[in-house]
Amino acid sequence: MPSVEERLVESGGKLRLIGRLGRLLAVMIFLGIGVYFASPYLLTSVGRYLVTEQPLVKADLILVLSGQIPLRVLEAARIYHERYAPKILLTNELRERGSEELLRVGIRIPDSQERAITLLQELHVPRNDILVIRERADSTRSEMQTVAQFLKYHPLNSLIIVTSKSHTTRAYKIFSTGLGPQVRVIMHPVPNDPFDPNRWWRDRTDAKDVLHEYEALTDFWRVWLWTKLVGESAPPPVTVR
């Protein structure tokens, strides 16, 4: 049978354990409350980071990146008519799945670039002011590479890039890095784009856009870091549109 002194030591150990658990629980509750109240600010910062915008100024060319044609093309036509640039350049993306099968049976549907040209003409942009890149790209990085190739034969000093809000930060990083300091890149997110960086976690489509962009940014940073540490030879990037 344990002595009184042994029982006191045992009781003291239990009390210390209870005290530690109590302090740990208090810290966890405090952190939980902090995260709860801070999360809207943190989540807002996550969304806002994805949006890069520079003030519109006169430029040599308006570049419309592929995707979300109605929103992007409409905005490109607007700033064209406001005389921010004399020409509009359209990139090209892969054909929609199923297009090749339709072609085999004699049915051809316009691709996204053809639809963009038609829409621009409906918006009173002369066909002579619409430039196109025929080569198809499967990612923002490959779009940049096709544009860089185009600029070898059509050199310019400044470029307005029109794209969706959540895509602007990644597009800016890729194009400003790829085209170099000799080309001024002016990012212009579509004002009517419904993406809301202040409430993106409440909208399923916006949440998917945020997750997609951070996945793609991770790949950009991976390639960028490899290039800085190893040299010009970079690993092949993961294809992220």
pLDDT of residue 34: 47
Domain ranges, ordered by start, for the chain: 1-49, 62-205
- Token pair of 21, please? 């658990």
pLDDT at 223: 82
Give me the pLDDT at residue 109, please: 73
- Can you give the pLDDT at residue 76? 98
Give me the CATH code for the 62-205 domain, please.
Answer: 3.40.50.620
What is the reported pLDDT for 38?
A: 56
Helices marked H in 50-139: 69-81, 99-104, 112-122
User: Which residues of the chain have a pLDDT value below 50?
Assistant: 4, 6-9, 30-31, 33-35
Determine the Cα–Cα distance for residues 209 and 167; give it in Å rounded to an integer.
8
